[in-house]
Amino acid sequence: MRLSRLIAALSLATAIARPGVAQTVQINGAGATFPYPIYSKWFSEYNKLHPEVQINYQSIGSGGGIRQLMNRTVFFGATDGPMTKDQLLAAPGGILHFPTVLGAVVPVYNIPGVDAELKFTGRVLADIFMGKVSKWNDPEIAKLNPGQKLPGSDITVVHRSDGSGTTYIFADYLGKVSPEWKKTVGIATSVNWPTGVGGKGNEGVAGLVKQTPGSVGYVELIYALQNKIDFGSVQNMGGEFVRASLDSVTKAAAATKGKMPADFRVSITNAPGAGVYPVSSFTWLLFSESPKDKRAARTMTDFMRWALHDGQKYCADLGYAPLPEEVVTMEMEALKKIRF
């Protein structure tokens, strides 16, 4: 009896240790809501190819993702605003940024009786979100939209209540076109809003705008499309009013050609060029340079190689623009910095 038990135990141990027998790998990450739709798709598709790999992602906002990565409560973080120098210095070990896709932040609105595509300049958007322009028929809005019957109702501003890369992108753009915004509100994932109500995540802002007549907010493009919320075109550096689209975001990415820094921490808001949508941005996954979990590091490095190539084909259907080939080439080399 004892011999049979010993043989069974040895057989089980051999089966567990046998090369080629897949063992489940669970990897946890958290961060930006901006890329959540594409990340969900990627993690699902990668799991179909590698059933033993389960990548879990919490869509909690860029600020939360950075915090959790720095506290080492998740293996990877995600952000739409690059970590600051102070954050990088405070992090336990080196943190690497990897761009994944490009997206657009759009001004969304709910104005009863108005279903047209409104036009906005960056300065007017800044004045709206600072509370200086508080009525929909304000002359500053009306002169940009001749022929539109805008109501005299109050504007309800809806902004993010959590630390948000979407806020960073929006504020980064407004800071480039409005000196007053840059001075009084600033550019960060969390700012001191002069007016308005807060919603958690892109989902929260989209939901509040959809249910609040007279409201205006800002969300990542896919959230406007999925929720069927009206969104406006925005004036770019060349004076054109451009609607966010795959093409106009791709043109914004062209501004990085030959200029992408080695650490990938770059802003492309208000980029030059014809047909460029000015509130565009990369979004990043964040990894420790020397992670403790070497198996997870190998798995996520393989995932990133897949995402940078095969994963890009899922971008268009979800409202994102794929990465420029030049950036992909740089990232494939940078992945070698992850030590495992």
pLDDT at 22 over 70: no
163 touches 65 (CB < 8 A): no
pLDDT digits (tens, 9 = 90+) for 31-44: 999 999 999 999 99
pLDDT at 10 over 50: no
Which contacts qualify for 170-173: CB closer than 8 Å, 24 or more apart?
A: 170/105, 170/218, 170/279, 172/81, 172/267, 172/269, 172/281, 173/105, 173/122, 173/269, 173/270, 173/278, 173/279
pLDDT at 21 over 50: no
Of the ranges 17-21, 81-85, 276-280, which one carries the lowest mean pLDDT score?
17-21
Q: For the chain, list the strands marked E by DSSP.
A: 25-31, 53-59, 76-79, 95-110, 119-120, 156-160, 197-199, 215-220, 230-231, 233-235, 241-242, 280-288
Structure confidence at residue 8 (pLDDT): 43
DSSP-based three-state secondary structure for 24: coil
Of the ranges 8-12, 89-93, 181-185, which one carries the lowest mean pLDDT score?
8-12
| Bridge-based pairing state of the strands 95-110 and 280-288 | antiparallel
12 confidence band (pLDDT: 50, 70, 90)? very low
pLDDT at 176 over 70: yes
Q: What is the four-CA torsion angle of 129, 133, 139, 142, rounded to 10 degrees?
A: 40
Helix axes 294-308, 36-49, angle to 10 degrees: 110
Structure confidence at residue 279 (pLDDT): 98
pLDDT digits (tens, 9 = 90+) for 199-235: 999 999 999 999 999 999 999 999 999 999 999 999 9
Rounded to whole angstroms, the Cα distance separating 30 from 199 reads 18
> Which amino acid, one-letter code, is at 164?
S
Q: How many CB atoms lie within 10 A of CB 2?
A: 6
Q: Average pLDDT, stretch 8-28? A: 58
Structure confidence at residue 16 (pLDDT): 40
- Burial of residue 253, with CB atoms counted within 10 A of its CB: 0-12 exposed, 13-18 middle, 19 or more buried: buried
Structure confidence at residue 23 (pLDDT): 81
Q: What is the pTM of this model?
A: 0.87
pLDDT digits (tens, 9 = 90+) for 90-106: 999 999 999 999 999 99
255 confidence band (pLDDT: 50, 70, 90)? confident
Q: Which domains does the chain have, with CATH numbers?
A: 25-102+281-337 (3.40.190.10), 104-256 (3.40.190.10)
198 confidence band (pLDDT: 50, 70, 90)? very high
The values of phi and psi at residue 165, to 5°, are -70, -30
pLDDT at 25 over 90: yes
Q: Average pLDDT, stretch 17-21? A: 45
pLDDT at 178 over 60: yes
